[in-house]
């Protein structure tokens, strides 16, 4: 085993606390190894403003960071820099101590933290007006500030129906979104078009000329709800996505006014029309409603998971204020936005819930007593 002479860096006072030891997950280690083999670059970004817990982002995933103290200190050493005057009398090769580490950064998969951005965009909804307010969030700022990978941010903006208008982020008004989708469905029916290979220019032009929908808006709308092929001039509609969004738009009117299940389904089918009503299925709205039973009649009430707190304890508290006990199938959709995968959701249930079994099945109840 080779021997070295240790010496301190001449810049130790400047370099102290400038190094961090990061423990990679097997997934990230494999990513770096593959990049080294293929001579490609892997980019990591640490994101977090003052008062926020920092996260590490790759191009497509977000990881939480946690500092863990080491039982033994670790020295960061390097060969002397070129031109250095460091020499030893022993004849052994010198190495320079650059820093001493007492902690390691552990990382674990995390959900993207988009709630802050969505909160900032409240009150800036787009509803047939293309005026941009000076205090709206710029799309480039979002990529820097939001604690999410670029792919997760793009997907999150799409899922939350946020337009990019003149470089600024504008959530589309819920009512206007429902109106636009109904216009699209009516146009397809009037033009006798199927859901695939729809002429793009015909659809966009009809929306612009007959309903004053700007091309910048209609093109983003179509991309949210299908595949836009500008080279071929066609759009293939994601039928389930459109039908689901229309259903959510209808359910939104029943936050405090429950509606009979059969009445809601009939209204939903009538709204999407004969061509698409076979796709109507209440399972599409999972995580957006609750069911209550009065006798043999089932009633639905709007209860969207997207409006629940992002803090796990607060979210579970809100859920148990709505119901004192939940089945696993019923509660899981309301945890998907705050936990990565089934295992993490199971951990939340284990931490905050008790499991009881009765003749009706397995139930989750709260470990804490909540009042309304």
When the pLDDT of each residue in the chain is averaged and rounded to a whole number, the result is 89
Residue 76 pLDDT: 87
Q: Which residues lie closer than 8 Å to 218 by C-beta, 6 or more apart?
A: 180, 203, 204, 207, 208
Please compute the mean of the pLDDT values over residues 193-200 and round it to a whole number: 90
Q: Indicate which CATH number applies to the domain containing 361.
A: 1.10.10
Whether 246 is covered by a domain: the verdict is no
Of 118-132, 276-290, 294-308, 349-363, give the lowest mean pLDDT range.
118-132
Q: Looking at the structure, do residues 164 and 187 belong to the same domain, yes or no?
A: no
Q: Looking at the structure, do residues 125 and 105 belong to the same domain, yes or no?
A: no
Domain of residue 224: give its range. Answer: 174-237
Q: Indicate which CATH number applies to the domain containing 77.
A: 2.60.40
Q: Would the pTM of this model clear 0.85, i.e. be above it?
A: no
Point out the domain boundary residue: 137, 155, 171. 171
Question: What percent of the chain shows pLDDT beyond 90?
Answer: 65
Q: How many domains does the chain have?
A: 4
Q: Looking at the structure, do residues 16 and 75 belong to the same domain, yes or no?
A: yes
Q: Looking at the structure, do residues 9 and 104 belong to the same domain, yes or no?
A: yes
Whether 296 is covered by a domain: the verdict is no
Q: Looking at the structure, do residues 53 and 36 belong to the same domain, yes or no?
A: yes
Say whether pLDDT at 173 is over 70: yes
Half-sphere exposure for 211 (CA within 13 Å, toward CB): 20
Q: Looking at the structure, do residues 160 and 223 belong to the same domain, yes or no?
A: no
Whether 166 is covered by a domain: the verdict is yes
Point out the domain boundary residue: 60, 83, 110. 110
How far apart, in Å, are the Cα atoms of 110 and each of 60, 63, 98, 343? 12, 5, 32, 12
> At 29, is the pLDDT very low, low, confident or very high (cuts 50, 70, 90)?
very high
Point out the domain boundary residue: 237, 259, 279. 237
Say whether pLDDT at 127 is over 70: yes
Whether 144 is covered by a domain: the verdict is yes
Say whether pLDDT at 2 is over 70: yes
Whether 263 is covered by a domain: the verdict is no
pLDDT tens for each residue of 153-164: 999 999 999 999
Residue 134 pLDDT: 47
Q: Looking at the structure, do residues 17 and 96 belong to the same domain, yes or no?
A: yes
Say whether pLDDT at 128 is over 80: no
Whether 300 is covered by a domain: the verdict is no
Q: Looking at the structure, do residues 95 and 159 belong to the same domain, yes or no?
A: no
Q: Looking at the structure, do residues 52 and 135 belong to the same domain, yes or no?
A: no
Q: Looking at the structure, do residues 129 and 183 belong to the same domain, yes or no?
A: no
């Amino acid at each position: 085993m080779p021997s070295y002479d240790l010496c301190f860096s001449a810049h130790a006072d400047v370099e102290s606390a400038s190094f961090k030891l990061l423990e990679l997950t097997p997934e990230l280690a494999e990513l770096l190894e593959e990049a080294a083999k293929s001579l490609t670059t892997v980019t990591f970004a640490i994101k977090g403003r003052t008062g926020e817990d920092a996260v590490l982002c790759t191009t497509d995933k977000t990881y939480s960071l946690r500092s863990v103290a080491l039982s033994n200190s670790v020295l960061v050493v390097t060969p002397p820099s070129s031109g250095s005057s460091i020499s030893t009398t022993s004849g052994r090769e010198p190495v320079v101590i650059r820093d001493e580490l007492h902690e390691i950064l552990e990382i674990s998969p995390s959900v993207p933290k988009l709630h802050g951005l969505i909160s900032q965009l409240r009150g800036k909804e787009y509803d047939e007006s293309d005026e941009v307010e000076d205090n709206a969030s710029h799309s480039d700022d979002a990529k820097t500030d939001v604690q999410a990978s670029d792919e997760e941010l793009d997907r999150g903006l799409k899922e939350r129906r946020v337009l990019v208008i003149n470089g600024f982020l504008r959530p589309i008004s819920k009512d206007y979104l429902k109106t636009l989708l109904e216009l699209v469905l009516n146009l397809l029916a009037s033009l006798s078009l199927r859901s695939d290979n729809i002429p793009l220019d015909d659809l966009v032009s009809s929306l612009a000329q007959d309903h004053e929908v700007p091309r910048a808006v209609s093109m983003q709308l179509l991309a949210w709800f299908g595949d836009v092929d500008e080279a071929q001039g066609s759009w293939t509609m994601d039928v389930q996505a459109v039908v689901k969004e229309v259903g959510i738009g209808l359910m939104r009117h029943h936050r405090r006014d429950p509606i009979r299940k059969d009445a809601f389904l009939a209204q939903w089918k009538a709204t999407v029309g004969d061509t698409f009503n076979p796709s109507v299925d209440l399972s599409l709205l999972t995580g957006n409603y609750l069911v209550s039973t009065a006798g043999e009649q089932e009633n639905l009430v709007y209860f969207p998971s997207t409006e629940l707190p992002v803090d796990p304890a607060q979210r579970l508290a809100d859920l148990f204020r709505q119901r004192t006990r939940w089945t696993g199938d019923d509660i899981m959709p309301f945890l998907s936005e705050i936990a990565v995968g089934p295992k993490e959701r199971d951990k939340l249930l284990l931490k905050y819930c008790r499991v009881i079994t009765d003749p009706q099945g397995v139930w989750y109840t709260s470990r804490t007593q909540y009042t309304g």
